[in-house]
């Protein structure tokens, strides 16, 4: 056989092999999970943390959920709703995944949601918690293992109120989670809002907004800017000399390890809210934080904890249905029962399948090893639910 023919035969064999691989639909000899997340661009740090947290959960389970080997299909949504929708279709139709998780940004979640629900694949959100899916559009296939978007902002709103600040400028990107953020903040902060600024999502230069904030002369400022946006904002906030007169508050997203790593010491003293912290005292969390550091050489962020919990929740559900992942009804019931040890401590779902949980106040300080990191100060809310659950028709 000539070399050319050999190559052609090899090619054909390879293609057949691939085709056969894609066509196999054997009943549950493995669990296929599609992790679609933001892995490039300014929001990439968040997606990478979710992915690493999820991978750690798979590793802790010995690579098997409920006795079945886990096959993780990882894809990048490039923080672009169109790309995300196409990629999700590929995961659902070609890879035929049994579960999906990973999306960071709410606008992307809202774009992908309908395809996932139509395909009747359970989605476990490790971050995005849009108010739409918590209220009237709640869906039996949508579970949120993190929080509802408003929650962390409500917690800061209460803190700012309790600390006696009277005049606040709020700033958020102009997208669904940005609106949720400001609504959440104002639900518990009842003082004066000197200015309410919305920016483009992904904006990196805040000079105009900072000048506007300075002119409003507030005593505190509240920002919701996840990922690279927050990194740039805080640097420019300090660079413009605003940190002298204005106390900066943010949700955990704007003050976690990804931002701290990039900004460093200027962030000392920033208060923020979270449902999780790396110093929370429970056995599951201690194991998670220690192993995450060993595996990846950095402290986990709240995103990593959410990715890890998403992994644990799927593992528990597959275990409870004894590997019968094709029986969706039973799987949904098992997911909703949430029989796993969350790293945040007690965890349960509300009727809309969003969490009911505690929220904590953290402050950025230097720890005993001289690292700039978060320290938990105390609880802001206990067993806090979101404001939209009442308009969801699902029963608990």
Partner 1 sequence: MDWILVAEQALNGLQFGLMLFLLAAGLTLVFGIMDMINLAHGSLYMVGAYLAAAVAAASGSFLLAVLAALVGTAAFGMMLEVALLRRLYQRDHLSQVLATFALILMINEGTRMIWGSQPVMLNLPAPLSGPVELLPGLYYPAYRLLIIGVGLAVAVLLYLLVTRTRWGMWVRAGASNRAMATAMGVNIRWLFTAVFGFGAALCALAGSLLGPLLAVQVGMGESILILAFVVIVIGGIGSIRGALVGALLVGLVDTCSRTLLPALLRQLASPEVASNLGPALASILIYVLMAAVLFWKPQGLFPARG
Least distance between partner 1 and beta carbon 181 (Å): 13
Q: Does 205 bind partner 1 (CB under 8 A)?
A: yes
- Burial call 321-332: b when 16+ CB within 10 Å, e when fewer: bebbbeebeebb
Q: Does 215 bind partner 1 (CB under 8 A)?
A: yes
Least distance between partner 1 and beta carbon 51 (Å): 12
Least distance between partner 1 and beta carbon 325 (Å): 31
Residue with tokens 């965890």: 347
DSSP string, 163-216: TT--EEEEEEESSHHHHHHHHHHHHH--SEEEEEEEE-TT----HHHHHHHHHH
Q: Are 305 and 275 in contact (CB under 8 A)?
A: no
Q: Does 238 bind partner 1 (CB under 8 A)?
A: yes
Least distance between partner 1 and beta carbon 356 (Å): 30
Q: Which of residues 92-121 bind partner 1 (CB under 8 A)?
A: none
Q: Does 209 bind partner 1 (CB under 8 A)?
A: yes
Q: Does 382 bind partner 1 (CB under 8 A)?
A: no
Contact characters 162-181, partner 1, x per CB under 8 A: ------------x-------
Least distance between partner 1 and beta carbon 226 (Å): 14
The CA distance from 133 to 110, in Å, is: 8
The CA distance from 143 to 129, in Å, is: 9
Closer residue to partner 1, CB minimum distance, 10 or 204? 204
Residue in 148, 159, 199, 273 binding partner 1, rule: CB under 8 A:
199
Closer residue to partner 1, CB minimum distance, 39 or 97? 39
Q: Are 91 and 73 in contact (CB under 8 A)?
A: yes
Least distance between partner 1 and beta carbon 200 (Å): 6
Q: Which two tokens stand for residue 333?
A: 């019931």
Classified as helix, coil or strand, 377 is strand
Distances (CA, A) of 339 to 50, 317, 348, 390: 21, 8, 9, 24
Q: Which of residues 249-268 bind partner 1 (CB under 8 A)?
A: 262
Least distance between partner 1 and beta carbon 68 (Å): 31
Closer residue to partner 1, CB minimum distance, 62 or 241? 241
- H or E stretch at 356: strand 355-366
Closer residue to partner 1, CB minimum distance, 198 or 296? 198
Q: Does 236 bind partner 1 (CB under 8 A)?
A: yes
Classified as helix, coil or strand, 62 is coil
Contact characters 18-57, partner 1, x per CB under 8 A: ---------------------xxxx-xx--x---------
Residue in 228, 230, 311, 323 binding partner 1, rule: CB under 8 A:
228
Q: Does 83 bind partner 1 (CB under 8 A)?
A: no
- DSSP one-letter code for 390: G
Closer residue to partner 1, CB minimum distance, 117 or 198? 198
The CA distance from 41 to 55, in Å, is: 21
Q: Quick one: which of 92, 96, 105 has its CA closest to 38? A: 105
Q: Does 232 bind partner 1 (CB under 8 A)?
A: yes
Least distance between partner 1 and beta carbon 167 (Å): 16
The CA distance from 65 to 314, in Å, is: 8
Contacts of 13-22 spanning 24+ positions with Cβ under 8 A: 22/94, 22/95
Q: Which of residues 307-346 bind partner 1 (CB under 8 A)?
A: none
Q: Does 214 bind partner 1 (CB under 8 A)?
A: yes
- H or E stretch at 334: helix 328-337
Residue in 239, 268, 346, 382 binding partner 1, rule: CB under 8 A:
239
Residues 6+ apart with CB under 8 A from 206: 199, 232, 233, 236, 237
Q: Which two tokens stand for residue 77?
A: 């949504």
Q: Does 391 bind partner 1 (CB under 8 A)?
A: no
Residue in 235, 328, 348, 375 binding partner 1, rule: CB under 8 A:
235
Residue in 86, 212, 247, 351 binding partner 1, rule: CB under 8 A:
212
Residues forming the site for partner 1 (CB under 8 A): 39-42, 44-45, 48, 76, 174, 196-200, 204-205, 207-209, 211-212, 214-215, 228, 231-232, 235-236, 238-241, 262
């Amino acid at each position: 056989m000539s070399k050319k023919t050999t190559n052609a035969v090899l090619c054909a064999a390879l293609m057949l092999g691939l085709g056969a691989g894609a066509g196999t639909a054997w009943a549950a000899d493995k669990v296929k999970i599609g992790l679609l997340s933001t892995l490039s661009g300014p929001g990439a740090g968040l997606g990478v943390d979710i992915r690493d947290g999820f991978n750690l959960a798979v590793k802790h389970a010995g690579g098997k959920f409920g006795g079945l080997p886990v096959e993780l299909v990882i894809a990048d949504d490039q923080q672009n709703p169109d790309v995300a929708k196409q990629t999700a279709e590929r995961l659902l139709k070609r890879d035929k995944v049994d579960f999906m998780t990973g999306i960071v940004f709410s606008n992307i979640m809202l774009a992908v949601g309908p395809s996932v629900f139509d395909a009747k694949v359970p989605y476990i959100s490790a971050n995005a918690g849009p108010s739409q899916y918590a209220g009237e559009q709640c869906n039996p296939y949508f579970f949120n293992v993190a929080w509802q978007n408003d929650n962390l902002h409500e917690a800061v709103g209460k803190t700012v109120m309790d600390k006696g600040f009277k005049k606040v400028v709020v700033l958020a990107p102009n997208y669904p989670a940005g609106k949720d953020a400001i609504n959440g903040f104002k639900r518990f902060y009842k003082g004066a809002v000197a200015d309410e600024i919305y920016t483009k999502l992904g904006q990196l230069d805040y000079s105009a907004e900072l000048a506007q904030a300075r002119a409003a002369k507030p005593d505190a400022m509240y920002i919701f800017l996840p990922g690279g946006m927050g990194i740039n904002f805080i640097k420019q906030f300090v660079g413009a000399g605003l940190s002298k007169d204005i106390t900066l508050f943010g949700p955990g997203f704007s003050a976690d390890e990804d931002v701290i790593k990039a900004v460093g010491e200027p962030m000392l003293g920033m208060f923020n809210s979270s449902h999780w912290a790396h110093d929370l005292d429970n056995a599951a969390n201690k194991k998670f934080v220690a192993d995450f550091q060993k595996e990846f050489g950095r402290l986990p962020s709240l995103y990593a904890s959410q990715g890890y919990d998403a992994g644990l929740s799927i593992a528990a559900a597959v275990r409870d249905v004894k590997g019968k992942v094709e029986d969706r009804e039973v799987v949904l019931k098992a997911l909703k029962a949430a029989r796993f040890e969350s790293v945040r401590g007690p965890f349960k779902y509300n009727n809309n399948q969003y969490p009911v949980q505690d929220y904590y106040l953290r402050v950025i300080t230097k720890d005993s090893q001289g690292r700039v990191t978060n320290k938990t100060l105390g609880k802001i809310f206990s067993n806090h639910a979101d404001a939209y659950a009442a308009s969801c028709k699902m029963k608990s």
